[in-house]
Chains A and B, each alone.
Chain A
């Protein structure tokens, strides 16, 4: 049984993005998700930053201040080892959630 509810999706998106990009700032994460999902998924800032800071407090991501390609100073986030483990278990969970939801939808 997939324990994670659908709300865990945001965490999953952020973790996956960071695993794909190595390290990124908040704005970059928003843009990445938007671009890769063909503008289907738009993460709101009001949800993104609390989630990022919670992950930082939980020790899943590590943050440091660095300059962007365009010369702006930003807070960059990167996965920690605990974060990678978290991602792995979330991905497995998500697959089950999708399977479960799919089964419900196909039920006739």
Chain B
């Protein structure tokens, strides 16, 4: 309270002043009155009163000190005087603020991204109450698993919907692309299948119309309506009334019945939805009905906890009832031999206030690491600025000495210098915050995603913390230095003595050592990540992706009967193959390194099925190996004689042959593939052997792959994924394919991607790490360079007289240069030793992010150290040469 009153009285200092004056004046007057009443003359009475009262100014100041928070008032005074100092030397202020802005801006931008991806809660009612339901070992489940998020089958979801102890409400969702074209270039919207209660459970109220209810989500509902997002409303309808408007989704028409608020993007951070429809509409919108399948894992379940339950209790309850839930939801389509495994699966619940996010999976580790790196850069920046402030304070020593001599307290001087630092760091933080906006937009553009950046309290706390911290880091040393000024010594006329004070360089030396050490860490990390990215980029996936175009075709609108589809697909392949410039073309159901995968257990025919091994699969057309330039080791490629009537054949890679123990020549061997939900156990004869290739991702090791003939697949689909190798540029090939397909039918929809682009895209996180850490590493080296340069120049200036004497006594120029360089080398060596230790510690944290090299790679560390050494030695050459050119006469004359 008292402090509060004092702060309040800050604003009315003038009136407080007047009041104290009046009070003291009246006191004096009463004293005089009394004296005169006792018979003194007026003069004598006044003299006596004054002598009793003492120095009125001192009394007034002491009273005033009680009334106002003097500390605060004079801090403001310090800031104002600091402002004056900076307007006098704008260059210095600009350099400091710009450096800080860069450091703080980089930190803030990465923090913003981290905040949006990792920390922020979903923009829904009481997000802390949300929890998601997850199958613990989903990879043990059989069937098709859709998407990167935890999922269950629709029968499991319906079971949870009917009985969900611990949840006051529960909802399910699945993200999907709905096509909006009617042939030609494919256009998609981001769709959501949601359960009837989805919006109610999340507490999302529509800005117009209504949201779904349980009534909308009934089996056989058709397409009862669509809820669109605010963003889609703006983009599609320009914000005009949209209720009752029609939308085309997957060639079906639907009415818009509601619009969600602007801040609601769904449950997946980074994936904004456009249109939501009820789960019951799935069979109506897609050809395959997933509602009764117990092998299609596609629905994510999120619920709102009952206040009486903790998430642990719910998890325990789900775990205990899992067996019953799985038992009652398994349908006949589940492979019988896997039922036992399925019943052993467990459900659990996890807090889900921040929703789910693929971005989080991909980027949380890289982002944390980058924030650490950016923090180090800020530290180095502070070390540099501390050096700079220290130099300034030293040059203001006389000013400080005068202040001390006329009675300023040492604490007052500390505050004076800290006031300057505070002003600089706040200016730096503000500029940094502005810069961060631009930087984080650029980062988002780079990642190709959209996120909502909110200026929330976390960001403000971060900015405030970071500016106070930097202020202390770079200002404190200078402030303490200023307070230790010895007035007598500083006031003496001599500007520099015979030898420089060792202690002073000692601290500046320590700053340089820490700069070099931290720079080494950053440079080492940058080199590690760059090498790791390079390893990933030059890693031989076993095929040539360069020059291959992926064309995804969808011809379901043509409604070609199942038995004619294979022929139609062949016809499309032939017409594309005949395009001038096209060398090879193949069809596949899995594009390698695209993140898709399909694997099953296999075993050698005649062996016991318990000797089963897992293998990846691809169904391909003839020419696949030619198109991707995968060398054939033995046997043959598929050909037109491999049909659904002929015996099933397979081509395998070398890893497959090795894993199944088939020896160097597996041609002719037969293997069995386990029964899948859509087909019984099958036998394949190996007709060809190819070299190994990567399948799911570059980071994964080589796995066994069995290639099956698409033509032998019984249910040829309505879609094709064509790989087209062409001599022409991608764009030209794309145009030709468009025309060719259009000639076949305008109802075929398609889209294109470069295979190489798609692989590059999968390395985005690595690229981000390499690029940013490279940038920060370079920045750190420049800072270390300027730091060492500054300190060495300072040393030379301080020691000019000494050097002059040495030269007068016969020292050679080379000796002087060696002496100065030796000093720099000592600092450098100390920095490198400390830095090497820190680097090794940092590297172990980076281990999981690296590919193809050990985190403690000695060659990389040596390279980083060498680079840093060369750069800093060059930086200290200039001052050393200047030292050698000191004219002894001149330097002694200045004394």
Contacts and interface: CB of A to CB of B under 8 A. Distances in A.
A binds B: yes
Interface of A: 25-27, 31, 44-46, 49-50, 53-54, 57-59, 68, 70, 72-75
B27 interface: yes
Interface string B44-57: 00000000111100
A45 B58 CA distance: 11
Interface of B: 1-2, 5-6, 19-20, 22-24, 26-27, 29-31, 33-34, 52-55, 58-59, 62-63, 65-67
28 contacts: A25-B30, A26-B27, A27-B26, A27-B30, A31-B34, A45-B24, A45-B27, A45-B53, A45-B54, A45-B59, A46-B53, A46-B59, A46-B62, A49-B27, A49-B59, A50-B59, A50-B62, A50-B65, A53-B20, A53-B67, A57-B2, A57-B5, A59-B1, A68-B30, A74-B30, A75-B19, A75-B22, A75-B26
Nearest to A45: B53
Contacts of B58: 46
A57 B52 CA distance: 26
Nearest to B54: A46
A53 B2 contact: no
A74 B29 CA distance: 10
Contacts of A72: 26, 29-30, 33
A53 B27 contact: no
A67 B19 CA distance: 15
A8 B22 CA distance: 27
A54 B62 CA distance: 10
Contact of B6 (A31, A49, A57, A68): A57
B33 A57 contact: no
A75 B23 contact: yes
Contact of A49 (B5, B23, B34, B52): B23
Nearest to A57: B2
A27 B66 contact: no
Nearest to B59: A46
A44 B54 CA distance: 9
A70 B26 CA distance: 12
A50 B63 contact: yes
B1 A74 contact: no
Contact of B31 (A27, A50, A54, A73): A27
Contacts of A54: 66
A59 B2 contact: yes
Nearest to B24: A49
Contacts of A74: 23, 26-27, 30
A53 B27 CA distance: 15
Given A45-B54, A74-B27, 10 more contacts: A26-B23, A31-B34, A45-B24, A49-B20, A50-B63, A59-B2, A70-B30, A72-B26, A72-B29, A73-B26
Contacts of A70: 30, 33
A37 to B, nearest CB: 16
Give the secondary structure class of A's interface: helix
A90 B6 CA distance: 25
Given A44-B54, A72-B26, A53 B1 contact: no
4 tightest A-B contacts by CB? A53-B66, A27-B30, A54-B66, A50-B62
A49 B63 contact: yes
Contacts of A44: 54
Nearest to B3: A57
A89 B134 CA distance: 64
Nearest to A44: B54
A73 B24 CA distance: 11
Contacts of B63: 49-50, 53
B30 A57 contact: no
A3 to B, nearest CB: 20
B35 to A, nearest CB: 12
A47 B30 CA distance: 18
Contacts of B27: 25-27, 45, 49, 74
Interface centre among B19, B26, B33, B67 (most CB of A within 10 A): B26
Contacts of A45: 24, 27, 52-54, 59
A73 B33 CA distance: 13
Nearest to A42: B52
A91 B215 CA distance: 78
A59 B1 CA distance: 9
Contacts of B2: 57-59
Contacts of A57: 2, 5-6, 66-67
A96 to B, nearest CB: 26
Contacts of A26: 23, 27
A85 to B, nearest CB: 15
B615 to A, nearest CB: 82
Interface centre among A25, A26, A27, A72 (most CB of B within 10 A): A27
A50 B66 contact: yes
B189 to A, nearest CB: 66
Nearest to B16: A53
A81 to B, nearest CB: 14
B72 to A, nearest CB: 14
A59 B5 CA distance: 10
A70 B33 CA distance: 9
A74 to B, nearest CB: 5
A29 to B, nearest CB: 10
Contacts of B23: 26, 49, 74-75
A54 B22 CA distance: 18
A26 B267 CA distance: 70
Given A26-B27, A57-B2, A59-B2, A49 B54 contact: no
A92 B34 CA distance: 35
B131 to A, nearest CB: 50
A4 B43 CA distance: 42
A50 B54 CA distance: 14
A59 B53 CA distance: 26
B22 to A, nearest CB: 8
A34 B809 CA distance: 77
A59 B3 CA distance: 11
A106 B65 CA distance: 41
A58 B6 CA distance: 10
Contacts of B5: 57
A35 to B, nearest CB: 12
Contacts of B52: 45
Contacts of B33: 70, 72
A21 to B, nearest CB: 15
Nearest to A54: B66
A38 B34 CA distance: 17
A49 B6 CA distance: 17
A27 B1 CA distance: 28
Nearest to B55: A46
A14 B520 CA distance: 66
B62 A49 contact: yes
B488 to A, nearest CB: 32
Contacts of A68: 30
Contacts of B26: 25, 27, 72-75
Nearest to B5: A57
A75 to B, nearest CB: 5
Contacts of A59: 1-2
